Chain A
Amino acid sequence: MKNIALDIGKVRRLSWKAHLVRFTLGGLVTAGAGLIGAAYGPAVGGLFLAFPSISTASLSLIQRQAGKNAAGVDAWGAAIGSLGLLGFAAVDWVLAPLTSGWVTLLTASAVWLPLSFGLWLAIRTTRRHLNRRQRKPGR
């Protein structure tokens, strides 16, 4: 099982065009969510706070750099992250009327990452365990 690692040099190997595309796409989605919220209210605008802005911009880039398997696996990881995003949204829904924006958003962020990481770890451990059992039938 591969351990989690950070390759800081990777950032320097990315083209400026890739950074610009992601920045522009992210900015447009965020501005668009604001326009939709202003036009139709937060009940509709809120849907777009979970629009696939990062994934859309990144998957093609990942495929170009590392192949289809890497892109597919990355999208799988994003699916797990979106489950963590449920936690973020739930915390905001509950805390926003009760406390300040800073407390709400910090708490929501503090829930999103550990929840996503925990789910990732649980799924990965379960799959490794199942793979081991499949390789050793009869035990």
Chain B
Amino acid sequence: MLITLLIRFLLGGLLVSLFAILGDMLRPKSFAGIFGAAPSVGLVSLGLAFATKSGADAALDGRSMLVGAVALCTYCLLASYLIWRRRWGALAASGTGLAVWPAVAFGLWALALR
């Protein structure tokens, strides 16, 4: 379990960093932002699910990831609106979005997938 966690931490950190660096290098910013929603956590977690569990578990992960992606879209739209239109700081906007993400994710999960 500890070794799996360490692998998750290292690979997840690496992929998140790589996609973030790619986003830093690209212009315009709206295109670069796409890499802010890159499937870095998904690739590592699903890869480990295939390696240590089964395709059925990975499929369940993917199904819930659909709902998580809707919540992520909500987070991003909210953060964009708060920063761009309401001139909030990025930290405050991200923090607000992080409070909204679980509400949307778990709310939709309870409605559609439970």
Q: B-contacting residues of A (Cβ < 8 Å)?
A: 2, 4-8, 10-11, 14, 19, 22-31, 33-35, 37-38, 41-60, 62-63, 66, 68-86, 88-94, 96-101, 104-105, 108-109, 112-113, 116-117, 120, 124
Say whether A92 contacts B65, CB under 8 Å: yes
Check B55 against A98 for contact (C-beta < 8 Å): yes
Count the A-B residue pairs with Cβ separation under 8 angstroms: how many?
A: 358
Q: Give 13 pairs: A residue, B residue, CB < 8 Å, sorted on A.
A: A22-B13, A26-B41, A42-B57, A42-B60, A46-B61, A47-B64, A52-B75, A54-B36, A60-B91, A60-B94, A75-B83, A78-B36, A79-B73
C-beta contact mask, B49-89 vs A, less than 8 Å → 1, else 0?
11101011111111111111111110111011101110101
Q: Which residues of A contact B53 (CB under 8 A)?
A: 42
CB distance from A87 to the nearest CB of B (A): 9
Given A77-B32, A88-B42, A116-B34; A55-B94 close (CB under 8 Å) = yes
Report if A51-B84 is in contact (Cβ < 8 Å); known contacts: A22-B20, A57-B16, A70-B29. no
Look across to chain B and name the residue whose beta carbon is closest to the beta carbon of A35. Answer: B5
CB-based contact A31/B9 at 8 Å: yes
Q: Does B25 contact A (CB under 8 A)?
A: yes
Residues in A neighbouring B65, C-beta threshold 8 A? 46-47, 49-50, 85, 88-89, 92-93
* Assembled-state Cα–Cα distance A60/B83 (Å): 10
User: Which B residues are in CB contact (< 8 Å) with A116?
Assistant: 34, 37
Nearest B-chain residue to A38, judged by Cβ? B1
Residues of chain A within 8 A of B20, CB atoms compared: 22, 26, 54, 57-58
Bound-state CA distance A88–B68 (Å) is 12
How far is it, in angstroms, between the C-alpha of A74 and the C-alpha of B14 when the chains are bound? 21
